[in-house]
Amino acid sequence: MKNVSFTTRSALSRRAFLRGTGVALSLPCLDAMLPAFAADPKPPVRFIGILNYFSFHAPNLFPKEAGTAYTATPYLEGLQQHREDFTIISGLNHPEVRDGHSSDKSFFTGAPHPGSPSFKNTVSLDQLAAGTIGRDTRYPSLNFSTSGAYSSSYTRTGVAIPPETSAARAFARLFIDGTPAEVAEEVARVQEGRSILDRVGEDAKRLQKNIGPGDREKLDQYFTSVRELEERMVRSENFAKQPKPKPGVPVIKDPGSGEDTTRFGLMLEVARLAVQTDLTRLVTLYFVGTSRTPSKPGTSFAYHDLSHHGQDQGKLDQLAILERDLILEWGKFIGRMKESREGGSRLLDHTISVFGAGMGNASSHDATNLPVLLTGGRFKHGQHIAHDPTNPPPLCNLWVQILQEMGLKTAKFGTSNQESLAGLIV
């Protein structure tokens, strides 16, 4: 890439990097990247789709009341500071998708009968969008998961795209540029607690001298986010190396791979930084379960077993701990998206994010009344949209509306029968 001059607004490229020895750090959108005297361009709309394998216990998630005056449920109590920034949608499903755990394959596609031997998936909405808007960014899309065996993103031929499972590798791929040896060295530096910002320090200082106070504030927020993410990755790695405390209770069999709620939060932060720097506009993230959770670090859980609670109160109590912590991580993500600025608005206002599941009731493997949490974009939030689960509109109606919000001229996707979801106001 050509060297960037910072002497005039018009000289600063939208794809500018800060460079250090063997590394390059992408920049967020700055006013100095706009042509002199030009009106602020309309920011692009991004999409972050999040899938939870084991769903959520519906009574702890869905409010009893529809509309804006709903009473917060146990899972939503920790999100009250963001209440006006997200929408809960209940009652939806995909027609002809009643296949238990296999229903996850159809969440972002709507393809029928995912559990049948002859099943062939179709394109997921992120990959359909990538064919149009993905060409405008360095990475057409990003696909993350807490397990390499599970993906929520599918090509136009219905083939699952292998996911990235490591926040550290994703961070290195997106924000560290250089030879393989230089990248490995920089990853080692981050693991030792030395920030990439130290390597691009001189370039950063030179840039800050030649931009306005608004841009300097944006850069300060961005640099703070990068450093905090590096510190969180280091803390997570160090914690994983420590001997696990003895809880003083019989050990519950681990169904999964450990600290995945924490890893989920780290991946959300990598996703946020990726869309903030416009490296991509499309991200999918699959949370496949956990056996340890931040609020109870000394206790082991069996998420799969707990999701099949059979209304056992002891299991429901433990399940609530896991799922509350997961939703709290999503809440932290919303907060950081609100704090991140793009032009004169919040990054959240230009990033649509869906957090949902392919089952409505994991205990009975029921794939109706799917949980859907929606945030960002131009939608009117702060409400619970309750559809009749016995006669719901297809979930794909929401996918069409989101695709159109991203600028795609799409009137049909999957099993949709309308171009928008009833009750969801723009």
- Report yes or no: 56 and 363 within 8 Å, Cβ to Cβ: no
Cα–Cα distance measured from residue 110 to residue 414, given in angstroms and rounded to the nearest whole number = 5
Contacts of 373 (CB under 8 A, 6+ apart): 86, 87, 88, 89, 327, 330, 354, 355, 356
In this structure, the number of other CB atoms found within 10 A of the CB of residue 174 comes to: 21
Would you give per-residue pLDDT tens digits along the chain (426 residues)? Answer: 334 433 334 456 666 677 776 667 777 777 776 654 445 567 899 999 999 999 999 999 999 999 999 999 999 999 999 999 999 999 999 999 999 999 999 999 999 999 999 999 999 999 999 999 998 888 899 999 999 999 999 999 999 999 998 888 888 777 776 677 777 776 777 666 677 777 777 788 888 887 888 788 878 878 887 877 777 677 655 544 444 333 333 332 222 357 899 889 888 988 998 898 888 999 999 999 999 898 998 888 999 999 999 999 999 999 999 999 999 999 999 999 999 888 778 999 999 999 999 999 999 999 999 999 999 999 999 999 999 999 999 999 999 999 999 999 999 999 999 999 999 988
> Which CATH number does the domain housing residue 287 bear?
3.40.720.10
CB 342 within 8 A of CB 88: no
pLDDT value of residue 70: 98
d(CA 364, CA 352): 30
In the structure encoding, which two tokens stand for residue 194, read together? 């030395």
Within a domain: 128: yes
Q: Which residues contact 118 (CB under 8 A, 6 or more apart)?
A: none
For residue 208, which phi and psi values (nearest 5 degrees)? -65, -25
271: domain range?
46-181+252-405
Residue from 368, 385, 416, 263 nearest 326 by CA: 263
Predicted TM-score of the model (pTM): 0.82
For the chain, what is the radius of gyration of the CA atoms? 22
- Interatomic CA distance for residues 391 and 238, integer angstroms: 50
Q: What is the Cα–Cα distance from 199 to 166, expressed in whole angstroms?
A: 23
Residue 124 is given by DSSP the state -
Residue 332 resides in a domain: yes
Q: Is 127 inside a domain boundary?
A: yes
> Given this model, what pLDDT does residue 249 score?
30
Locate 124 and state its tokens: 């997921």
Q: Find where tokens 């903030």 sit.
A: 276
Domain assignment present for 215: no
Residue 373 included in any domain: yes
Residues in the chain: 426
| Spatial separation of the C-alpha atoms in residues 416 and 393, rounded to whole Å | 8
Backbone φ and ψ for 202, nearest 5 degrees, come out as -65, -40
Q: Which residues share a beta bridge with 105?
A: none
Q: Which residues contact 31 (CB under 8 A, 6 or more apart)?
A: 9, 211, 212, 214, 215, 343
Answer yes or no: are the C-beta atoms of 200 and 23 closer than 8 Å: yes
Residue 420: how many other CB atoms lie within 10 Å: 17
What tokens were used for 239?
């914690």
Which pLDDT belongs to residue 139? Answer: 87
217 belongs to a structural domain: no
Domain count along the chain: 1
- Pairing assessment for the beta strands 282-287 and 383-386 based on DSSP bridges: unpaired
234: amino acid identity, one letter: V
User: What is the C-alpha to C-alpha distance for residues 133 and 49, in angstroms, rounded to an integer?
Assistant: 16
> Does residue 208 lie in a domain region?
no
Q: Is residue 32 part of a domain?
A: no
